[in-house]
Chain A
Amino acid sequence: MEYIALTCGFLLILIGIYGALTQSNILRMIVAFTLANTGVNLVIVGIGYINGRTAPILDTAVPVAEAATRIIDPLPQALVLTAIVIGVGITALMLAYAYKLFTLKGSLDITAIKELKW
């Protein structure tokens, strides 16, 4: 089970990065990166998962006493939230860049941005 999650996560990452490195259209690159980010998040959650346990929310179903034995690791869940938000932020930023580049250069082709080199 964990392995499936992790493997999918890694595959997503690879696919995402591959796309980001081969697609020359900036928007496609951004999408590819979000894909990769999703993969990362999947990996994080997958790490936190423990077979046959439930969400780390204490209520009548999961009394405080036996929490330690009933719930999965809460920390990765907390981390993934942060990771997601940061991913969103960067994506927004990249979109803004894309827009600006488009307005200034009239194209979204990354290979066209080569003024600076060497």
Chain B
Amino acid sequence: MVDPILLIAIPLGAAFFLGLLRDEWRTSAYVITLLTLAFVSWVSSSWLLGFSLDKIAPVEILTAGSEPPFSINLRMGLNESVALLMISLTGLLSSIYLKDTLFRLGRRAMAVLLVFVMAMCGIVLTRDIFNLFVFIELTVIATAGLVLLSHNTLSLGAGFKYLVASQIASILLLVGIIFSYHVTGTLNIDGMAGMSNVLIQTSPLAFFLLFIALVIELKPFPANGWALDIYESAHPAFSAILSAATATASLFAVDKILNIGGDNWLPFATGIGILSFIGANLFALAQTHDRRLMGYSSVGQIGLILIIIGQRDILGENYFFIAGGVLLAHAVAKAGLFWMSGLVNARELSAWTALRKRPMLIFAFVSFIALLIGLPPFPGFYAKWELVHVLASEGRIALIVLILFGALLETAYLFRWFGLILRHEDEAPVVACPSQKVAVIYSAVLLGWGLGYIWGELSGFGNLLYTIPLLFALLFLPLEWLPAKLKNTFAIMGLVTWFIVQYPAYDPLQLIFAAIILPGGALVLLASYYNSGRRIGFYPSALWMFAGLSMLIMAEDSFAFFAAWESLTIGSYFLILRGKQSQPHALSYILFSLGGAFLMLLGFALASEGNPLFPLTSLASVASDLAPWVFILLAIAFMTKTAAIGVHIWLPGAHAEAETDVSPLLSGILLKAGLFGLFVLLINMGKQQLYGVELTHVLLWIGAISALLGNMMAIYQEDAKRLLAYSSIAQMGYALFGLALMNHLGWLMALMFVVNHYIYKSMLFLSIGGVAKRTGTKAMYRMGGLITLMPLSFIAVLIGIIAVSGVPPLSGFGGRWIFYNAIMSAEYRLPMVIIFLAGPIAFLYLFRLIHTVFLGQLKDEHRQLKEAPFWIILPQMIYVAFLMIFALAPGLALQKVDGYISRFFPNNGLNWEGLTITSDFGYWSPVSIMIIIGVIFVTLFSWLLFVNRRAQKVKQFNIVYAAERPYRPETTHFAWNFFAPYRKALGFMTQPLVTRFWDTVAELLHTAADLLRRLYTGDGQTYAVQLLAFVVAVYFLGNGVM
């Protein structure tokens, strides 16, 4: 191993040596710089390997040939090596990125860069507090120097403000150091830690000054105006170093210092961390300037890590796993984002639309924000999981809630940004991307994924990057250049194969869901064949969602379940975002889903009492005082997916604006994830009571109201796909209701809805999508009379609505029949009333759908339309066949499930003998119904044909129309505001109260952010004042400890 002292000596020597070169020899100077940084990276990585693989012990490096504490000593350990590698790599990549700038500025700048990196390494390595001070001052000076790299007045001002702030910090630090030295008689950190109790007793303020000064180096909110100005104005490559490397080093320093302070100083770190995390993320909401936004986000992230540091007394050996995960993920992602911002010319967020045409860069961006938020499979994900569980086991629930809230804020602005990039109306021109810069960015992406892999290995939960479904999804990234049709074939094959492979492992419940997800998904994907071209981005997202779904139903423990849940959420988000107008809806979708996911996280953490690998089955044995809360949290989480009323507002837009073949995926398949979750929840936890309230009863009400209001709102939609979307809310309401009945038939009905809803909703979305594709509009009143032009689509819709409305003889009736039998034995009756009201309302929108689209008056501009594309029709016809089969023999799907449910509810199942299905209350014979109706119908039809053979076809306008003759279809087609009387009578029930509520919440947050951030007046002195005020405030708050 190389002596770590070289990490300091070599860059320093190189920096001095650069002075010898002639100013003209820029290339050689640059080469030397790169070589030095490469050397540093190599040394630290070799140490890292040594520590991680060969498990060598940490080494002490003595200087001056004498022992500490009398001379300065350094320490190289695993954590040090990681931090050093992080720092040096950032430096190296940044200096590659900075090529042109460095050439312009000459060797001096390169020397400064080298010293900068050296100083940060020193901060990490040294064990002497005054030496730490020296290195910190070096970084300060180097920072102030490098800020000048982007030579404009702004950065000058920022640099000066920074100097002012750091002057104050260094004054406090020095005073702190000297007093600590006075008490402990040593400058060695470990020596001081040894005498910690003496120090804290005799002169706690000395330590306070040390601590607060180092914390200020972390740019905590609100004492960080200068830092934000630097982030905003400095050269992006330098901001990258500042955000990645400097943060790492400073956090390391704080971590060291807290060894001295001992545990009762951790609350300070925690408090400051929370303030920074939430405050910064809140302010970022109101940002339109990209680099400043990233600055805020950096402050937030560092706050998060400070929180983690504040928890290290309870984190134990997980401390470095968690802190490291968050820290490294943040460093890589933020560096990458800053580097990317160098490719974008303007500074508004919308200017990033320039990346739109560069799929690779988009992928990079996605990876970065995923790293920041901590989505699977990135380190932050494992870290957050572990952290929340430890916190829960220690009962620090409030802290968890705050952390998750901050994380949600962060999600909000990051994903809004991403949505802007892909969907902002005006697109910035594509920018030139110098190859070395792009290479740097891509290496950051690789680093990020590599970290994801490593953390997966380190976590005891199993590496997500080993799960075949996710790998299969990732496989499509390199295949993006292939034509869409080919990729589609792969995807379909993959889904079907996975189903066949897994088939033996499923129990009947899983089988139902698996059948809908995998072969069902493949069936929907048939429709995707009509897409030509490459269709960049569709397949990775779609398969990521499918991967999540298929992992969800096989999940054994809480971690696998949660990971699958988040994966499917992300995948579906990208699918939704593909829609032309869908940016806001996609955003609200991801916010609600991740909000729900966080609740789920909290729920699992509570339930497992800290066991991060919590088998789902042991949800049954949760402590009785916790159980109801766990139940509530998980239930809400799942209901955000099924879009129960109250958290439904994301659904209509998301489903309606999605692409033709995406809507069925979302509505037919994705919604079922929530139902599956509810199944798991109810199977394992059963009924729970909170303050005497039966929670399943509450679910019953929620389901009923969702059914009613979903249908109600569907009535008034003018947009066909929105109508279907609202109807989905209602249908899920029915399913939820059935589940909440907590009896045999209720669950059977829920499963029946799962199957039925998949079939007919996918079918309807496809056919309406096809029509919308041809007519070029989704507004129903602009269509009409299409039955003759699109007969197949019409048949699909006809069958579909008969099935939805539950009119015999089709399968929908089976659902209704089971439903009635189920409620016969239910103990609650009031919610039924609402369900009864909801039932017939379905007819209203269904009839409106088929009438205003296919019947009535054909519009002139549609006269030349053709039937929808073959590939869109094909799956519809298959669905029609399914519906018929399912109507004739529902037993095929249901009998096994019926048996399966008997495990939980042995009583009043169904009797499947013969053709007639009998329950305790009634009977039902699908086949004979079909035959009887068929016979009657055919008889009458042939009779009519016989008596009415001379009937002649007439033109569109040949109708008995009072007094005059209609001449324009628009005036004759009765479609707009179809149910006006209904609106008059019951319109009050569909006030958009929920939407208004959520809008207000968002509005409040934004206003708060916009007002509060004016705290940063831009005046350097004000910043300094705030800084000192912060110090004094902490001092007075912490008076108890001091």
Which chain B residues lie closer than 8 Å to A26 at the CB level? Answer: 160
Q: How many residues of A contact B (CB 8 A)?
A: 39
Contacts of A76 in B (CB 8 A): 178, 181
- Can you give 7 contacting A-B residue pairs, CB < 8 Å? A20-B168, A36-B167, A36-B171, A40-B174, A100-B156, A114-B1017, A118-B286
Interface residues of B in 688-716 (CB under 8 A from A): none
Kindly name the residue among A24, A79, A89, A98 whose own CB sees the greatest number of chain B CB atoms within 10 A: A79
Q: Say yes or no for A71: interface residue by CB 8 A criterion.
A: no
Q: A76-B178, A93-B145, A111-B1019 are in contact. Are A86 and B134 (CB under 8 A)?
A: yes
B1027 and chain A: residue at smallest CB distance: A21
A53 proximal to B (CB < 8 A): no
Which residues 1006-1042 of B sit at the A interface, judged by CB distance below 8 A?
Answer: 1013-1014, 1016-1021, 1024-1025, 1028
Report yes or no: A86 in contact with B1025, Cβ–Cβ below 8 A. Answer: no
What is the 8 Å Cβ interface bit string for chain A, positions 97-118, against chain B (1 contact, 0 not)?
1101100110000110111111
Q: Give the docked Cα–Cα distance between A94 and B140 (Å).
A: 12
Contact of B178 among A43, A94, A98 (CB under 8 A): A43
Whether, in the assembled complex, A75 has its beta carbon less than 8 Å from a beta carbon of chain B, the answer is: yes
Interface residue from B137, B160, B187, B228 paired with A101 (Cβ < 8 Å): B160
Taking the closest CB of chain A, its distance from the CB of B1012, in whole angstroms, is 10
- Partner of B1018 from the list A13, A20, A21, A117 (CB cut-off 8 Å) is A117
Most chain A Cβ neighbours within 10 Å, of B148, B187, B1020: B1020
A47 contacts partner chain B, Cβ-Cβ < 8 Å = yes
* Contact digits for A33-62, partner B, Cβ 8 Å, 1 yes 0 no: 100110010011001000000000000000
Query: Which chain B residue has the least Cβ–Cβ distance from A92?
Result: B141
Residue on A nearest B131 in the bound complex, by CB: A82
The distance in angstroms between the C-alpha atoms of A67 and B1025, with both chains bound, is 46
Query: A: which residues have CB within 8 A of B?
Result: 13, 17, 20-22, 24, 26, 29, 33, 36-37, 40, 43-44, 47, 75-76, 79, 82-83, 86, 89-90, 93-94, 97-98, 100-101, 104-105, 110-111, 113-118
Contacts A17-B168, A97-B163, A111-B1019: A116 and B174 contacting too (C-beta < 8 A)? no
Q: How close is A79's CB to chain B, nearest CB, in angstroms?
A: 6
Interface contact B1020-A118, CB-CB below 8 Å: no
Q: Are B1014 and A118 in contact (CB under 8 A)?
A: yes
Contact A37 B130, beta carbon cutoff 8 Å? no
A86: B residues at CB distance < 8 A = 134, 137, 170
Asked if B580 CB lies within 8 Å of chain A CBs, one says: no
Are A118 and B1013 neighbours in the complex by a CB distance under 8 Å?
yes
Q: Is there contact, CB below 8 Å, between B175 and A75?
A: no
Contacts of B148 in A (CB 8 A): 100
Q: Are A82 and B130 in contact (CB under 8 A)?
A: yes
How many whole Å from B295's CB to the nearest CB in chain A? Answer: 10
The 6 closest A-B pairs by CB, nearest first: A117-B1018, A114-B1018, A113-B157, A116-B229, A97-B160, A118-B1013
Chain B 586-603 interface mask (CB, 8 Å, partner A; 1/0): 000000000000000000
B156 close to A101 (CB less than 8 A): yes
Q: How many Å from the CB of A102 to the closest CB on chain B?
A: 10
- Which partner residue on chain A sits nearest B147 by CB separation? A97
Nearest residue in A to B167 (C-beta to C-beta)? Answer: A33
> Separation in Å of the A18 CB from the closest CB of chain B?
10
Check: B164 CB closer than 8 A to any chain A CB.
yes
Q: Count the A-B residue pairs with Cβ separation under 8 angstroms: how many? A: 117
- Interface residue B428 (Cβ < 8 Å from any Cβ of A): no
- B158: interface (CB < 8 Å): yes
Chain A residue with the shortest CB-CB distance to B226: A116
B159 adjacent to chain A (CB < 8 Å): yes
B1020 touches A110 (CB 8 A): yes
Name the interface size band of chain B. Answer: 35 or more
In whole Å, how far is B73's beta carbon from the nearest beta carbon of chain A?
Answer: 16
CA of A90 to CA of B175, assembled, Å: 17
Question: Which residue in A20, A36, A93, A116 is a CB contact (below 8 Å) of B154?
Answer: A116
Name the distance in Å between B714's Cβ and chain A's nearest Cβ: 44
Kindly identify which residue among B158, B163, B178 contacts A116, using a CB–CB cutoff of 8 Å: B158
Nearest CB of chain B from residue A54's CB, rounded to whole Å: 20
Beyond A97-B159, A101-B160, A104-B153, 19 extra complex contacts between A and B, CB < 8 Å: A20-B1024, A82-B134, A90-B137, A90-B170, A93-B141, A93-B144, A94-B160, A94-B163, A97-B160, A100-B148, A111-B1021, A113-B161, A115-B153, A115-B1018, A116-B154, A116-B158, A117-B1017, A118-B286, A118-B1018
How many angstroms from the CA of A83 to the CA of B176 in the assembled complex?
13
In the bound complex, residues from chain A placing their C-beta under 8 Å from that of B1025 are 21
Contacts of A21 in B (CB 8 A): 1021, 1024-1025, 1028
Shortest Cβ gap from A15 to chain B (Å): 12
The chain A residue sitting closest to B174, CB to CB, is A40
B516 to chain A, nearest CB (A): 50
A110 to B164 Cα, complex, angstroms:
11
Rounded to whole angstroms, the CA-CA distance of A17 and B164 in the bound complex is: 10
Residue from A17, A20, A82, A110 in contact with B1019 in the complex, judged by beta carbons closer than 8 Å = A110
Kindly list chain B residues whose C-beta atoms are within 8 Å of the C-beta of A117. Answer: 229, 1014, 1016-1018
Q: Which residues in B have their C-beta under 8 angstroms from that of A89?
A: 137, 141
Which of B148, B233, B1018 has most A Cβ within 10 Å? B1018
A40 lies within 8 A of B158 (CB)? no
Chain A residues near B181 (CB-CB < 8 A): 47, 75-76
- When distances are taken between beta carbons in the complex, the residues of chain A under 8 Å from B154 are 115-116
B1014:A75 contact, CB within 8 angstroms = no
Q: Does B179 contact A (CB under 8 A)?
A: yes
Interface residue from A36, A82, A104 paired with B156 (Cβ < 8 Å): A104
Assembled-state Cα–Cα distance A86/B1025 (Å): 23
Instruction: Indicate whether B22 reaches chain A with its CB closer than 8 angstroms.
Output: no
Interchain CB contact under 8 A, A110 and B156: no
* Cβ 8 A contact of A113, one of B137, B145, B182, B1020: B1020
> For the complex, is B232 an interface residue (Cβ under 8 Å from A)?
yes
Closest A residue to B232 by CB, please name it.
A116
Residues on B with C-beta less than 8 A from A115 are 153-154, 157, 1018
> Once the chains are docked, how many angstroms separate the CA of A40 from the CA of B170?
10
A97 CB, nearest partner CB in chain B, Å:
5
- Closest B residue to A83 by CB, please name it: B174
Tell me how far the C-beta of A84 lies from the nearest C-beta in chain B, rounded to whole angstroms.
11
Are the CB atoms of A90 and B153 closer together than 8 Å?
Answer: no
Known: A82-B134, A94-B163, A118-B1014. A47 touches B178 (CB 8 A): yes
Evaluate contact between A29 and B157: CB separation under 8 angstroms. Answer: no
CB distance from B164 to the nearest CB of A (A): 7
Is the Cβ of A13 less than 8 Å from the Cβ of B171?
yes
Interfacial residues of chain B within 181-199, with CB under 8 A of chain A in the complex: 181-182, 187
Q: What chain A residues lie within 8 Å of B164 (beta carbons)?
A: 20, 29, 33
Per the bound structure, the CA–CA distance linking A32 and B406 in Å amounts to 40
Question: Bound state CA distance, A109 and B232, in angstroms?
Answer: 21
Q: Which of A40, A111, A118 contacts B175 (CB 8 A)?
A: A40
Tell me the smallest distance from the CB of A6 to a CB of chain B, in Å: 10
Closest-by-CB residue of A relative to B233 is: A116
Q: How far is the CA of A94 from the CA of B229 in the complex (A)?
A: 17
Report how far A110 CA is from B1023 CA in the complex, Å: 12
The answer to whether A20 touches B167, judged by C-beta atoms less than 8 angstroms apart, is: yes
Q: How far is the CA of A76 from the CA of B185 in the complex (A)?
A: 11
Checking B161, B163, B174, B182 against A93 with a beta-carbon cut-off of 8 angstroms, the contacting residue is B163
CB <8 Å contact, B1021 and A24:
yes
Cβ of A17 and Cβ of B130 under 8 Å apart? no
Q: How far is the CA of A118 from the CA of B1023 in the complex (A)?
A: 12
Name which residue of chain B comes closest to A23, CB basis. Answer: B1021
| Closest B residue to A110 using CB positions | B1020
Instruction: Give the CA-CA distance A13 to B999 in the complex, in Å.
Output: 51
Known A47-B182, A94-B163; judge A116-B157 contact (CB<8 A).
Answer: yes
- Give the residue of A40, A82, A110 whose beta carbon is less than 8 angstroms from that of B171: A40
Residues of B within 8 A of A100 (CB): 148, 156
B287, closest chain A residue (CB): A118
Closest to B1020 in A: A110
Report the separation of the CA atoms of residues A104 and B151 in the bound assembly, to the nearest whole angstrom. Answer: 11
Rounded to whole angstroms, the CA-CA distance of A94 and B187 in the bound complex is: 29
Q: Which residues of B contact A36 (CB under 8 A)?
A: 167, 171
Cα of A89 to Cα of B1018 in the assembled complex, Å: 26
